[in-house]
């Protein structure tokens, strides 16, 4: 048991980007519990879950390969972000949809993940690599 604890501590100590992602936990729309980053179920979000700790919010859909790839790319590049699961009742989701309409979306294709960066909602990101390169400047 001590070996496992020590091994986990070493992994955390040598991790390049530990703690880059903030995850808010809310009940899913179907009534089930959302699973947080530790793999445990929870009814409540983390303290201040409605408040964003970053200027970058990633709205993702569970099972979306583009969403998972984009979040992995952010993690690999040590870019801090807040992750919002679109299958939950997170209060930021309705506001995101309103902002998309205000910013000119009038139908068409939405490319997931949807990103909020410095208050602007991006629903049509095609080149994830170029977006991440701009974030690093």
Average pLDDT value for residue range 3-20 = 43
pLDDT band at 106, cuts 50/70/90? confident
For the chain, what are the domain ranges?
A: 19-135
pLDDT band at 23, cuts 50/70/90? very low
CA distance 92 to 84: 8
pLDDT digits (tens, 9 = 90+) for 94-103: 999 999 999 9
- Is the peptide bond prior to 46 cis by the omega test (within 30 degrees of 0)? no
pLDDT over 50 at 49, yes or no: no
Q: What pLDDT is recorded for position 116?
A: 96
The third-level CATH classification (topology) of the domain covering 19-135 is: Glutaredoxin (3.40.30)
**Number of neighbours of residue 12 by Cβ within 10 angstroms:** 10
DSSP 8-state class, residue 47: T
Helix (H, G, I), strand (E, B) or coil at 126: coil
Q: What pLDDT is recorded for position 107?
A: 87
**Number of neighbours of residue 60 by Cβ within 10 angstroms:** 20
Q: What pLDDT is recorded for position 76?
A: 96
pLDDT band at 17, cuts 50/70/90? low
CA distance 112 to 124: 8
Could you give phi then psi for residue 71, rounded to 5 degrees?
-65, -40
């Amino acid at each position: 048991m001590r070996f496992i604890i020590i091994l986990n501590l070493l992994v955390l100590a040598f991790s390049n980007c530990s703690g880059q992602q903030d995850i808010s936990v809310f009940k899913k729309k179907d009534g089930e519990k959302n699973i947080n980053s530790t793999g445990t179920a929870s009814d409540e979000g983390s303290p201040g879950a409605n408040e964003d700790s970053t200027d970058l919010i990633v709205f993702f859909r569970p099972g979306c390969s583009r969403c998972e790839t984009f979040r992995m790319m952010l993690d690999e590049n040590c870019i801090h972000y807040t992750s919002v699961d679109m299958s939950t009742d997170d209060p930021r989701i309705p506001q995101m949809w309103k902002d998309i309409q205000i910013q000119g979306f009038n139908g068409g294709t939405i490319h997931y993940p949807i990103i909020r960066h410095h208050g602007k909602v991006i629903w049509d990101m095609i080149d994830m690599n170029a977006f991440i390169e701009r974030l690093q400047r």
